Amino acid sequence: MTVKIIFGLTGFISEIAESITLIEGLVTAKFIAASSLLSNKRKRASLI
């Protein structure tokens, strides 16, 4: 019985870890996109 509980907990923890890594990936992707947009705007402003 305790083995089943332990396996359930490890599966639950791994699912949480996977979702956290997905969220982190999305956040970093948004951050990279935003920073590249800002740098592009700065380049255009300096060209004008």
- What residues does each domain of the chain span? 24-48
Closest listed residue to residue 30, CA positions, set 22, 15, 47, 46:
22
Write the DSSP symbol of residue 1: -
Q: pLDDT 10s digit of each residue in the chain, 48 long?
A: 788 888 888 999 999 999 999 999 999 999 999 999 888 888 777 776
b/e per residue, 23-40, with b = 16+ CB within 10 A?
A: eeeeeeeeeeeeeeeeee
Q: How far apart are CA 35 and CA 33, in angstroms?
A: 6
Task: Give me the pLDDT at residue 43, please.
Answer: 77
Q: How far apart are CA 40 and CA 34, in angstroms?
A: 10
